[in-house]
Amino acid sequence: GEDVEQSLFLSVREGDSSVINCTYTDSSSTYLYWYKQEPGAGLQLLTYIFSNMDMKQDQRLTVLLNKKDKHLSLRIADTQTGDSAIYFCAESVWGSGGGADGLTFGKGTHLIIQP
Amino acid sequence: NAGVTQTPKFQVLKTGQSMTLQCAQDMNHEYMSWYRQDPGMGLRLIHYSVGAGITDQGEVPNGYNVSRSTTEDFPLRLLSAAPSQTSVYFCASRMTGGLSNTEAFFGQGTRLTVV
């Protein structure tokens, strides 16, 4: 079965780097995603990584994937107050995972920015 | 291009009432799904559909019905509302990707309170 785990809260100082971690159990995951949810809004895709990649960088965002340990991380450089949100890790498992081509989400990590 | 549209944004129901949450997408996506979001529980899949005329149950289907008569619309019906159904409901759509990456697009959510 599929299970995606994240810590519920992360607090960082403005200007520091934030690292949000996620572990998953299904080794047949094809894509892994990071979604961002701002207060009162729906989820928006931040970035994703294909399971045969180790790293993906996109401006201030760096995604690292350790497939052996089934560990995914999202690093946000120079964290700003606008980064305050809930960040969801999700995996896509072809043919399973909440149904055909479904996504399985973690519970979300609340990123809290301290001035 | 409106994306995924959910109505209403807010709703208060009395226990035992029924109602339908509407979801429409204009991206010709095959896959649509309904999630509920509760504090500390993350997103849980209620029902999903892989195309018109096809629906299936997710993780927490009890108390909810769905239908998919068109590609665009995927309404969620609460048959007899209960306080345990107080939640924020999200509709999402995506192309069925198989082994290809496909982004899930989310509506803005419906905040439902059952008293």
| A99 interaction partners in chain B (CB closer than 8 Å) | 33, 45, 48, 50, 56, 58
3-class state of residue B83 by DSSP: helix
pLDDT at A1 over 60: no
Mean pLDDT of B29-33: 90
**HSE-up of residue B21 (Cα within 13 Å, Cβ side):** 35
What is the C-alpha separation between A47 and A29, in angstroms, rounded? 16
B47, B61 contact by CB (below 8 A): yes
Greatest mean pLDDT among A43-47, A98-102, B23-27, B48-52 lies in B23-27
Q: How many helices (H) and strands (E) does chain B have?
A: 0, 11
Contact B42 A107 (CB under 8 A): yes
Per-residue pLDDT reduced to its tens digit, A2-58 = 589 999 999 999 999 999 999 998 777 778 899 999 988 889 999 989 888 899 999
Mind listing the pLDDT tens digit for each residue in B41-85?
A: 888 889 999 889 999 998 899 999 999 999 999 999 999 999 999
Reported as a pLDDT band with limits 50, 70 and 90, residue B17 is: very high
Provide the shortest C-alpha distance from residue B15 to chain A (in Å). Answer: 25
Indicate the pLDDT class of residue A95, thresholds 50, 70 and 90: low
Percent of chain A with pLDDT over 70: 89
pLDDT given at position B37: 93
Residue type, B95: M
Residue B81 has a pLDDT of 97
Question: What's the pLDDT at B104?
Answer: 84
Token look-up 């931040």 returns A46
| Dihedral over Cα of B105, B10, B46, A89: its sign | positive
What pLDDT sits at residue A19? 98
Q: Considering only CB atoms, which chain B residues are within 8 Å of A42?
A: 4, 90, 106-109
